[in-house]
Amino acid sequence: MARILAIDFGGKRTGIAVTDELQIIASGLTTVVTKELMFFLKKYTTDENVELFLIGEPKQMDNSASESEALIIPFIEKLKKAFPNIPIKRIDERFTSKMAFQTMIDSGLKKNQRKNKALVDEISATLILQSYLYSQ
């Protein structure tokens, strides 16, 4: 089997999470500056076998698309061209940032550590991936 790579896309930073090769465990991988995301993904997919990109789909409470969707759509088009053999799935990411922050509190991180937005993005990507794995 191959890994599933989850992406919590953001305008400045993008959280990345990945499964093990058996697709049992979701783990935070890193947070990447969004401008460097395609370079990171090309290098990662050269080193690791990835069978699916899972991208968070931000939605409003009324189920309409979030404003950040306008940034994600062009990224997905670039991703499709760069990796035509790796399918892309979207998954609702509502509340993942709030859940990530709560996870940081629950794990005992100090207040100044919880201000680390890169860590919030990585945890959010992990929550997106865990949600997908639970649904399978």
CA dist 49 → 19, 26, 68, 96 (Å)? 11, 15, 29, 26
pLDDT at 112 exceeding the cut of 80 = no
* Mean pLDDT, residues 51-65 taken together: 78
Q: pLDDT class for 124, splitting at 50, 70, 90?
A: confident
Which CATH number goes with the domain that contains 98? Answer: 3.30.420.140
User: Regarding beta strands 3-8 and 13-19, do their DSSP bridges make them parallel or antiparallel, or are they unpaired?
Assistant: antiparallel
In one-letter notation, the amino acid at residue 121 is: D
Answer with the residue of higher pLDDT: 45 or 59: 45
pLDDT of 101 higher than 80: no
Domain count within the chain = 1
The overall average pLDDT reported for the chain is: 85
Question: Domain range spanning residue 128?
Answer: 3-135
Task: Check residue 49 and give its pLDDT.
Answer: 96
Mean local confidence (pLDDT), 52-80? 83
What is the DSSP secondary-structure string of 80-122?
HHH-TTS-EEEEE-TTHHHHHHHHHHHTT--HHHHT-HHHHHH
What Cα–Cα distance (Å) separates residue 114 from each residue in 9, 107, 118, 119? 20, 10, 10, 8
Compute how many other C-beta atoms are within 10 angstroms of the C-beta atom of residue 124.
27
On the question of pLDDT at 51 being above 60, the answer is: yes
Q: Give the lowest-confidence range in 18-22, 38-42, 51-55, 121-125.
A: 121-125
Residue tagged 């994600």 (tokens)? 72
For the question of whether the overall pTM of this predicted structure is more than 0.85, the answer is: no
